[in-house]
Amino acid sequence: MEQNCVFLDLDDKDQQSWHVSGWQNEKLIAYTRLVPPNIAYPQPSIGRVVTSPSVRRSGAGRKLMQFSIEKIFSLFGKQPIKIGAQLYLKNFYESLGFHQSGDVYLEDGIEHIEMLFPILEN
């Protein structure tokens, strides 16, 4: 609702995905959807990343993404992760290790970019 995207999620990915939720004092404060490979992208994906305004700038979003990345690895093996990120959060995702892998596109009237979390061989 905060982004004026008030509609049911009709992409049929929820039932095939894992859902991460963060709670504080019985209040939902953070959420991501972990999408298996070959559903949204050939790679596994993290989507629907959201934190409550009450915990923004507290590090909760970083912890949420770090946990989600580790959970993707434990569920699907250590492989690249692809996301569709809101453009204004590009620096945040880059600070986690993602890099831009596609052009800017509009989704629900909001600028997005595809980003990839690569697996570097030692």
pLDDT tens figures, 94-121: 999 999 999 999 998 999 999 999 987 6
Q: Specify whether the CB–CB gap between 43 and 77 falls below 8 A.
A: no
Q: Which two tokens stand for residue 67?
A: 């946990």
6: left (phi over 0), alpha (psi -120 to 50) or beta: beta
What is the arithmetic mean of pLDDT over 63-85?
97
- Specify the pairing of strand 105-107 against strand 45-51: unpaired
Is 56 contained in some domain? yes
Is 109 contained in some domain? yes
Return the C-alpha torsion angle 91, 111, 108, 46, nearest 10: -30
Is 19 contained in some domain? yes
Which CATH number does the domain housing residue 24 bear?
A: 3.40.630.30
Residue 61: predicted pLDDT? 93
Total domains, the chain: 1
Low-confidence winner among 53-57, 80-84, 113-117 (lowest mean pLDDT): 53-57
Is 6 contained in some domain? no
